[in-house]
Amino acid sequence: MTLRIRLAIGIVSITIILLIPLLLALRSLESVHQTTRSLRDREFAGSLQLGRFRKLTDDIKRGEDALAFVHDSASLARMRANLAALASTGDSLDRYKLSPAGEMRTAILSLRAATDAEYAAAASENANVADEISAQRTRPAIFTLDKLIVQTEARLREETRDKAERTADETVDAQRTAAGSLAIALLLATLIAIWLTRSISRPVHDLEKGMKAVADGDFTHRLPTFEARHDEFGRLAESYQRMTSQLAELDKLKAEFVSVASHELKTPINVIVGYLELLQENIYGELNPKQREICATLGKQAQTLTRLVKRLLDISRFEAGGGKLERRQIDLDRFLHTFESSFQVLALQREISFRVVRGEDLPGHVLWDEDRINEVLGNLLSNAFKFTDRGGTVELSVEGLDNEVSITVRDSGAGIPPEQLPHIFEKFYQANNQAQSAARGTGLGLAIAREIVEAHGGGISVASSPGVGTTFTITLPVRAVVTRRTPFRRTPSVVEEVA
């Protein structure tokens, strides 16, 4: 499944999941709406009709009294009109199914017949018959209507209460359904979002780590989460693997070339040095002063070339994992005193203040390769003196840490531009401050120093600011554990700029 399809499925799934609570809420609200509309169209409207029915019944009661005493045609007409309205209202109540239709219709017909008979008796001046009809027929019919009204009101109240309670329950259920479904939908949407994020962020993070490893020189790094993937990340992983394989092969060929070239250079250089020594010893005849001066110059250059070849061989061995360390017990105080006395002469010659500072908690002995560490510190101190003007300061300070020794070489020299700091441990790299010195170096001293320090299980870092000075810090374990370096892997050094 490609990344685009995965994203499309995830987005559509999230949309559908978030729509489900909305649909459930609408369904619940529709049920509430139907119950409320039923209350409005039946119970509420029926109560209005029932109130009108009761008012007409009361009017008929009063009309019946007027009919009995006045018994004129106007009273009869009003009575008949009220009876007609009462019959129409009764039919309306029957449509709302709020009253027994048969009983109410019978009572209205009986009341109509009774009022007609009562009026006829009253109109014929037969008061006793009119009173008898009123007592036996008219009044009972009106009482029956009142009884039916009371029954209908009780029934209406009961149904209204039931529907109101049902509406309240449906409202609560709708709220719970909406809240529950929304919570579940948000949870599912979050899980899908996390799945989408992880499916993208994890490969990106692994790829970032892989590229950082390549930038640091580790061409053996693999991308574990990319295995068996057939999407864009899978194709990217294949390109990454091909790239690292090619870079590893190129780095290996480069190291082999440097090693072979260095070995091949040693023989002709030794031959040149040998013949120069024979010439200077007059084996092939007496040399005049000019020829002797030329031989001396050639000898110096040959020695410089010899040192360069040796450095190339050293760094090639360390990079290939074959650099050997000969550890032995070192009296740390004696070791530092040797540096102090050796460089004090150079400090006097160059009028530079030099001192060795011994911190607290220094161990009496350390287990290092003395020659290699001597080479590292000698290189750092030589650079410090080389880039420090007269009147400046150079300091070598040593402090004891937890099972470690921290060595700092600090100078007040030219400093290194911040944009060049990340590269100074690279082979053949020379900062612009080389112009401050009379003789430019080979660009291999710091690279070799880093390899030696890391082979001891330590670390080296640098901090510098132009015009202020440079500080190199080395951290070494008291008892160095010789580590087998991974071929073609270069651990990055910490670099920072001093404010």
pLDDT digits (tens, 9 = 90+) for 310-320: 766 666 666 55
* DSSP-assigned letters across all residues of 457-479: T-EEEEEEETTTEEEEEEEEESB
pLDDT, tens digit, 9 for 90 and up, residues 2-44: 667 777 888 888 888 888 888 888 887 787 778 787 777 777 7
Please state the rounded mean pLDDT for residues 52-74: 73
Cα(138)–Cα(84) distance, rounded to whole angstroms? 16
What's the one-letter identity of residue 152?
A: T
| Cross-strand pairs, 479 | 367
Cα(8)–Cα(176) distance, rounded to whole angstroms? 31
Taking each continuous run of H as one helix and of E as one strand, the counts in the chain are 11, 8
Residue in the structure block whose two tokens are 């880039």: 387
User: With 90 as the cut, is the pLDDT of residue 146 above it?
Assistant: no
| Cross-strand pairs, 465 | 469
% of the chain exceeding 90 in pLDDT: 8
% of the chain exceeding 70 in pLDDT: 82
Q: Assign 486 a pLDDT band (cuts: 50, 70, 90).
A: very low
Q: Looking at per-residue confidence, does 435 or 135 come out higher?
A: 135
- pTM for this predicted structure: 0.45
Phi, psi of 282 (to 5 degrees): 60, 30
pLDDT at 150: 82
Q: Looking at per-residue confidence, does 280 or 439 come out higher?
A: 280
pLDDT at 494: 37
- CA 436 to chain centroid, in Å, comes to 48
Q: Which CATH entry fits the domain spanning 3-192: 1.10.405, 1.20.120, 1.10.10, 2.60.40?
A: 1.20.120
> Of the ranges 141-150, 165-174, 312-321, 365-374, which is most confident?
365-374
pLDDT at 492: 38
Please state the rounded mean pLDDT for residues 379-390: 89
Token output for 142: 């009106």
Token output for 162: 């039931």
Could you give the residue ranges of the DSSP H alpha helices within 39-138? 45-69, 73-95, 101-123, 127-133
Q: What does DSSP say about strands 365-368 and 328-331: parallel, antiparallel, or unpaired?
A: antiparallel
Cα(234)–Cα(226) distance, rounded to whole angstroms? 6
Please state the rounded mean pLDDT for residues 114-130: 77
Token output for 367: 């287990």
User: With 90 as the cut, is the pLDDT of residue 46 above it?
Assistant: no
Token output for 249: 């092969």
Cα(30)–Cα(37) distance, rounded to whole angstroms? 10
User: With 50 as the cut, is the pLDDT of residue 436 above it?
Assistant: no
Token output for 154: 């009780």
Contact 104, 149 (CB under 8 A): no
Give the end-to-end CA distance of the chain in Å, rounded to a whole number.
51
Contact 392, 353 (CB under 8 A): yes
How does 417-429 read in b/e, with b if 16+ C-beta sit within 10 Å? Answer: eeebbeebbebee
Token output for 187: 């949870």
User: With 90 as the cut, is the pLDDT of residue 485 above it?
Assistant: no
Q: What does DSSP say about strands 459-465 and 393-401: parallel, antiparallel, or unpaired?
A: unpaired
Cα(462)–Cα(407) distance, rounded to whole angstroms? 12
User: With 80 as the cut, is the pLDDT of residue 413 above it?
Assistant: yes
- Directed axis angle between helix 332-350 and helix 370-386, to 10°? 20
Alpha carbon separation from 145 to 48, 98, 108, 359 (Å, rounded): 17, 14, 8, 116
Residues 6 or more apart in contact with residue 60 via CB below 8 angstroms: 79, 82, 83, 86, 111, 142
Query: Which of 353, 354, 352, 358 is CA-nearest to residue 336?
Result: 358
- DSSP class of residue 364 equals S
Q: What does DSSP say about strands 393-401 and 353-358: parallel, antiparallel, or unpaired?
A: parallel
User: With 70 as the cut, is the pLDDT of residue 197 above it?
Assistant: yes
CA angle 451, 452, 456 (to 5 degrees): 115
| All structural domains of the chain with their residue ranges | 3-192, 232-319, 328-497
pLDDT at 394: 93
pLDDT, tens digit, 9 for 90 and up, residues 342-373: 888 888 888 999 999 998 888 889 999 888 89
**Helix, strand, coil proportions of the chain in percent (round to 5)?**
70, 10, 20
What's the one-letter identity of residue 322?
A: G
Cα(440)–Cα(235) distance, rounded to whole angstroms? 47
Token output for 169: 């329950």
Under CATH, what is the fold of the domain 232-319?
Answer: Helix Hairpins (1.10.287)
Q: Assign 235 a pLDDT band (cuts: 50, 70, 90).
A: confident
Contact 353, 393 (CB under 8 A): yes
* DSSP-assigned letters across all residues of 150-178: HHHHHHHHHHHHHHHHHHHHHHHHHHHHH
Cα(387)–Cα(415) distance, rounded to whole angstroms? 8
Cα(372)–Cα(392) distance, rounded to whole angstroms? 28
Q: Which CATH entry fits the domain spanning 328-497: 3.20.20.60, 3.30.450.40, 3.30.565.10, 3.40.50.2300?
A: 3.30.565.10
pLDDT at 487: 44
